[in-house]
Amino acid sequence: DAGVIQSPRHEVTEMGQEVTLRCKPISGHDYLFWYRQTMMRGLELLIYFNNNVPIDDSGMPEDRFSAKMPNASFSTLKIQPSEPRDSAVYFCASRPHQGYTGTDTEAFFGQGTRLTVV
């Protein structure tokens, strides 16, 4: 498997524009996570899905952020309109089904998308 694939790797956009980040999880993984990494806040969990259903979006900072998972092999994180403070590295991660006691494996991360909003 090629691992978790994110696109684009780098995105530079102007303030006010719509930005869409994409993620392809590892095949067969039931969970998909979106994280944002900044110097100030570290690694923040924005939202995660289980079997394509959003489970917890309490980390999504504002209504400008939205995430979808239309099928098991694809997810998007959209920012509309974008602002300079959204500049960060956005990571997508996936993991297999969690057993009853949570004793399954770890999450696997993509390479990240470095977003710069000017």
Partner 1 sequence: AQSVSQHNHHVILSEAASLELGCNYSYGGTVNLFWYVQYPGQHLQLLLKYFSGDPLVKGIKGFEAEFIKSKFSFNLRKPSVQWSDTAEYFCAVNVGNQGGKLIFGQGTELSVKP
Q: Which residues bind partner 1 (CB under 8 A)?
A: 31, 33, 35, 41-43, 45, 48, 50, 55-56, 91, 93, 95, 98, 101-103, 105-107, 109-112
For partner 1, the closer of residues 55 and 118 by Cβ is: 55
Q: For residue 89, which of 65, 70, 113, 53 has the smallest C-alpha distance?
A: 113
3-class DSSP assignment, residue 115: strand
Closest separation between CB of residue 42 and partner 1, Å? Answer: 4
DSSP string, 33-96: EEEEEETTTEEEEEEEEETTEEEE-TT--STTEEEEEEETTEEEEEESS--GGG-EEEEEEEE-
Residue 11, beta-bridge partner list = 115
CB 77 within 8 A of CB 23: yes
Shortest gap between Cβ of 95 and partner 1 (angstroms)? 7
Q: Which is nearer to partner 1, 71 or 103 (CB)?
A: 103
Tokens of 37: 């990494």
Least Å from the CB of residue 112 to partner 1 = 6
- Nearer CB in complex with partner 1: 17/38: 38
Is the Cβ of residue 13 or residue 50 nearer to partner 1 in the bound state? 50
CB of 70 to partner 1, least distance (A): 20
